[in-house]
Every structure is written in structure tokens, then in C-alpha cells.
Structure 1
Amino acid sequence: MQELPQSDDFKSIVLNNTPLIDVRAPIEFNKGAFKNCVNLPLMNDEERHLVGIKYKEHGNVEAIKLGHKLVKDEIKESRVKAWCDYKMQHPNALLYCFRGGQRSKISQEWMRESKIDITRLRGGYKAFRSYLMREIEESPKHFKPIIIGGRTGSGKTILLKDIKNSIDLEGLANHRGSSFGRKITPQPTQINFENALAYDLIQKLDYGFKELYFEDEGKYVGGVCIPKEFAEYLSSAPLIILETPESQRIEITFDEYVVQAQTSYKSHFEKNALQEWAKDIGEAMKRINRRLGLERYKVVCELFEDALNEQMKNNSLNLYKTWVKYLLNEYYDPMYDYQIEKNASRIVFRGNSEEILSYVKEKSSGI
């Protein structure tokens, strides 16, 4: 039989955002996969489990026999059709399984029987994943990081979107990076976060950027962790401080924590969206109870309850701004002041959004 095509040009896949067909079982896919991929499994979770048992007890030949017995006739036909349909819609799509071995090769062969040719990843998921992690580890050799810091609500994420040579770690993590930063949609798995970070780094560095801008983060963004050595590299980087008036910070935080959040909950919950949002805010306030102390925790809860009651009674959101102001003044700002005092020696510039953008443009003019 003619040798089926393989490729390990992983950099090209990243730079071209190449569509990928992942033929692993859903349980594998859900633990981690790549950007621009779709899960169209050769075997479902139960079939994979049964074949795995057969492999352990009777070896590879018997496992393959069982696999062909489980995936045949209408089942086989529907799965091949799904692969072929996707390839027709995405002509440059590639295919992979875990190690680039039997499952992806069988999928290739069945697609060829249907007159559709596709290339599989040499080494499969494991090889591509290793490539991406290696790129993260080696990336500090190729760029200088600059960190955007500032008080909560100062608009750091908004500013970052206006800097083309930036990487939005909060966006990749689907989290606002604070105690109240959880979104209604789940965060990616740790693996998916790392894979997305690698894609962003590879694409930005290939463009030729020698400096990359990041928002000031800790080791964790919500429940995902920035790779250790990469996080350490960022932790000593030069720091730019975004200075924003308190009134504007209140508006930005109010828009994120209340307006945008409630809109998101309404789109997610058919009923009781406001109650679900309020419950999650209550849980977030409990998480900061110890740092606030009993008296301030009591005040912040009362302010929130007053605002919630006002909304339910008069459909007005204005009282939430009082709650936001208290959170900023009594919780976030003291933490910020402590951190900025510790890192004062790293500060290279302070200014508002326009001044920082001018500073960045001047530094980047040689790119």
C-alpha cells in the first residue's frame, strides 16, 4: 500500500492557524487539545476503554481486531463522513491521534477509501504538544518582556488590546485575574492554556517583535498556572504603571463586574440569572473575608445587598458603584500599594493610556 503522508512542520501549523482533526476519544480531547481543532473520534470513550483492556490482556493484534469489530458498518460510515465533510470544508486540515500511529493511520486509510486524502501529524498530539512546550521554555531567549501594571480598574486589559505586540494572559485564561474575575464560561484546561500561550508567542515572535507586553499577573490566572520558568522571567521585567483617576476606575470596574457580568449570566441562564450572579458574587466576597477583616466584610456585603435590592426594586444599577468604590478602596488598593512598593525599582514609566501608548510607539519604532 502507498505510504500515507505525514508532517511534523509544527511551526507552519501555528503560523497558518491550520485546522486540525483530533481522532482521539473525547476523554482524551477534553484533557487538552490544540487551537483550531475539532474532535471527531475514531472511537468513543467506551470503545476505546474496551480496546484498551483487550490490548493489555491479549496484545495489539487482538485489540485492532476488536476495534474493527466495534467500529464498522453504519458507525464507521458516519465517522468517515464526518472527517471527509470537515476536510472538504477545510482543505488544508490535518489529522492526528495521540502518537501519530494506528488510530490516525486507520482514519487516513478510511478517508482515502472515500477518495479524500489528508496528512497526519508525525508523532501526533504528543510530538506537537512537546514542540509547543519547548517553544514556551525557549522563548525568553528571543524577546524582552515589559509589564503593564496599575490599580484594579485602571484599564490595563483595555490598554493591552491597543498594543499590537502584547499577549493577553487573562484573555487566554478566560479570567479577569482577580478575586471577582471568574466568568460564567469555564476556563480552559491547563494544557489548553499553555498551548494557546505557545501559539501566541510563536506568532508574535515570528512577526519580528523583540519586546512583548503583558499585564501584571501572579503565578496563577484564576485556576490556571503560568508555566513556572516563564512566569519567573516576567516577574523581573520592567514595569509600566497605568495611572487612571478613581472615578474612571469605578466606571471600568462597574462595567466589568456588574454590567458585562450580568449580560453574560442572562445569556447563559434561562431563569434566575440575577440570582445566580448574586450568588457567585457572594462566594467571591467570602473568599476575601479574611483579608478584609470582619468589619469591612460586613460593610461590603451590606453595600452589595443594598445595590441588589435597588436593582430588583427599581431596575437601577447605580448603587453598585458605591459597592465597587468600597471594594477598590478597602480591598484592592492596599494590596496594590504593597506590591508596587516592593517592585518600585522595576518601574520605568508612569502615565495615562495615551502617554503609555506614545511611550510604547517610541520604543517600538525600530520594529
Structure 2
Amino acid sequence: MRSDCTDFRELFLNDLPLMDVRAPVEFDKGAFAQSINLPLMTDSERQQIGTTYKQQGQHAAIELGHALVGGAIKQARIEAWAQFARANPQGYLYCFRGGLRSQITQQWLKDEAGIAYPRVVGGYKALRTFLIDTNEQAMAECDVVLLGGMTGTGKTEALAQLDNAVDLEGHANHRGSSFGKQVTPQPPQISFENNLAVDFLKKRAQGIEQFVLEDEGRLIGGRSLPLSMQLRMKAAPLVWLEDSFDNRVERILKDYVVDLSARFVEANGTEEGFALFAERLRLSLSSIAKRLGGERFQRLAAAMDNALQAQEVRGAVDGHREWISVLLEEYYDPMYVYQRDAKAERIEFAGDQAEVLAYLRQRHHHRLA
């Protein structure tokens, strides 16, 4: 049998498969990208056993566990574990602390299926602690530069072209603004932090010690950046990405109308998909109604309704440019100008996409040299 895993760095660098035997409610709060939930106990079973453990002790809890998870139920779970183990001979299993549930799973697999399968020493808790430390070390030890710019300048596009960028919005599955929700939900907070840490870990293993991050606030949608990252970003130098107003309108039209509606339709079918997309746009605008003010909100809502109607009936998206332009001119741009002025001392370079990419690559190359 392979020995139990204590080298967490290699585990994440190589994306080794993980079998998570915690209850579904624990898994749903946060896990790892390469993990699959094949629980020893359901949520209900775990709750009953936990109550018995508190009231009557470990022996009574183990007895209840065997009573609840026996017969055909036990065999079905062992078969699921065995299938995973055979398909992933290089993987590991874990529970919360690497204790009783891992040991029971290992024992049953060995006794009933003849498979000796190793576990993660310290379990989920040890892996999670390792990744929290990884994020903190990256912020403490690496050079960080932020990419800022007005809404629609293509910051995400630029980041995608840099080897040393970490896409915070990509990991959060949210574009960062009031209109930033994607078709699929955001990951749990813990999974978001875990995936960020693995990204840093892999890039540092390639020798990257300078990172470009988008200039973000504390939150991306409903996900909070790790505190160490928030603090580091408040003092980091800024590179400011610029583009023409017309280009920005076209980019927003593509990202938030053309592409987003296509993703909704792909996920839900033509009719329902478009209805959900239209509802999403209207809700996004409603979320900033108070900040827009009554008259301006009504004006933008009417323009959006007209544009959605034309898009649904004729497939034309031209009408969306009206509300996008007004929203940029009267809402987002003044806000970003204020933020840019407040951070002026930290801006070390400004330019269009080609100039900014050239500068950031040179900056990274200079550091490597």
C-alpha cells in the first residue's frame, strides 16, 4: 500500500484525485477542485451520530454508526469507494481531521473490497490550513501589481494574456460589478480561497514571484478576498488600462449582452434562457436604482426594456448601446474617476492594452533578471 499523504504541496501541484468522505453538508461549504464527495454518512446520519457522541460517548456513537450504515447501504458505499479507488490509483481519501471516518473507510475498503487506499494525514482541516498559509505566503513574499481601469477597458482580456496574472474574478465566477453575475452560481467562499491558493502555488512552482491582479474591492460579488490579499492590494502599485469610450461600450455589449444571453440560452433553451437573461439584466439595474436616483433609473429601465424587446423579436442588440452609454457616462465613469484620483500616487504607468501588456511583461522580465 502507498503511504498516507503528508506532502500537500505535491498533492495540489499534481491535481491528485481526492475522495472526500465527509457528509454532503460539509463538502458543500467548501472543498478542493480535484475532490469528489463519496460520504461515509449522509447529513442525517452524521447528525444522529454526533448527538449520540455528545450524549453517550464514542463507543455508543460507533455502534449507532454501524447500525445506520449496514447491509445494502454499506455495500453500496463501499462499491462507490472501490470504483473511485480503481479509477484513481494515485489518489487519496480524507475526512475532516483524518481520524475516525477516514480509518473506517480505509478498513471497510480493505476488508470488503480488498483495496488498500491511503488517506490524507490530518484530513480536510490540514489541507485547508496549508492553502490558507499558501495565500498568506504569496502576499507576504511576492511582488504584487494591480491592473486598474474604467469599466469596459478589457482588464480581464489583458490578464488572460499574462503568464503571471491571477484572475480573481474568474475564480469568483463573477465580473465584479452590479452586472457581474454569471449564469452559474459563485463557488462557496472556502472553495474560492482554496482555488486561489492552488493557482498561486502552481505559478510559484514555475518560478513566478510577481503577480498581476485586477484592482478589486473587498468583495467580488458575494465572495470576500482573503484578508492578507485585501491588505496587500491597498498599498500595491497600479497600472491603469485605457481605451476609447466607443470601444468600451462595444466590449460591454459583447460581454454583458451578446455573450451572457448566449450562455443563458445554451443552459436553459431559447425561450426560457432569454427570459432568464432579461430578468438578470433588469435585476442588475434595479440593484443600483437608489444610487442612480428615480428619474435616471426610470430612463435607463425604459431604454433597457426597449432594447430587450428588439433583441427578443428581431435578434438585434443595437438598442442596448443606449443604456450602456448612459450608465457609463453618468454612473460608472464618475465613480472610477474618483477612485483613480484617490489612487493617483500609486499609478506607475497608464496606456492602452498593447502598451500596458508590454509594460507589465517588461516589469516581470526585469524582476526575473
- TM-score relative to the length of structure 1: 0.96
Of residues 135-144 and 182-191 in structure 1, the stretch that sits farther from structure 2 once superposed is 135-144
Does the CA contact (< 8 Å) of 1:143 and 1:205 recur in 2? no
Question: Which among 64, 73, 76 is matched to residue 74 of structure 2?
Answer: 76
2:106 aligned partner: 108
1:165 aligned partner: 164
Of residues 245-254 and 331-340 in structure 1, the stretch that sits farther from structure 2 once superposed is 245-254
Of residues 267-276 and 308-317 in structure 1, the stretch that sits farther from structure 2 once superposed is 267-276
Structure 2: any 5+ residue segments left out of the alignment?
none
> What amino acid maps onto 1:321 in structure 2?
R
Q: Secondary structure at the match of 1:43?
A: coil
Q: Alpha-carbon deviations, 1:284-340, whole Å to 9, x = none?
A: 112211222222212211110110121233221111122212221121111110000
- How does 1:5-154 map onto structure 2 within 5 Å? 5-113=3-111, 114-154=113-153
- Alpha-carbon shift at residue 347 of structure 1 (Å): 0.7
Does the CA contact (< 8 Å) of 1:142 and 1:205 recur in 2? no
- Alpha-carbon shift at residue 230 of structure 1 (Å): 1.6
Give percent identity, aligned residues only: 40
1:156 aligned partner: 155
Q: Secondary structure at the match of 2:108?
A: helix
- How does 1:217-366 map onto structure 2 within 5 Å? 217-270=216-269, 271-366=271-366
Q: Secondary structure at the match of 1:17?
A: coil
> 2 CA distance for matches of 1:35 and 1:331?
37
> 2 CA distance for matches of 1:161 and 1:272?
32
> What amino acid maps onto 1:168 in structure 2?
D
2:209 aligned partner: 210
> 2 CA distance for matches of 1:210 and 1:309?
50
> 2 CA distance for matches of 1:47 and 1:355?
59
Distance 1:4 1:360, change over 3 A: closer
Q: Secondary structure at the match of 1:234?
A: helix
- Alpha-carbon shift at residue 15 of structure 1 (Å): 1.1
> 2 CA distance for matches of 1:125 and 1:161?
31
- Alpha-carbon shift at residue 361 of structure 1 (Å): 2.1
Does the CA contact (< 8 Å) of 1:95 and 1:118 recur in 2? yes
> 1 CA distance for matches of 2:170 and 2:183?
14
> 2 CA distance for matches of 1:338 and 1:218?
14
1:194 aligned partner: 193
Structure 1: any 5+ residue segments left out of the alignment?
none
Does the CA contact (< 8 Å) of 1:4 and 1:108 recur in 2? no
> 1 CA distance for matches of 2:315 and 2:157?
28
Q: Which consecutive aligned stretches of 4+ in structure 1 deviate over 6 angstroms post-superposition?
A: none
Q: CA RMSD in A?
A: 1.5
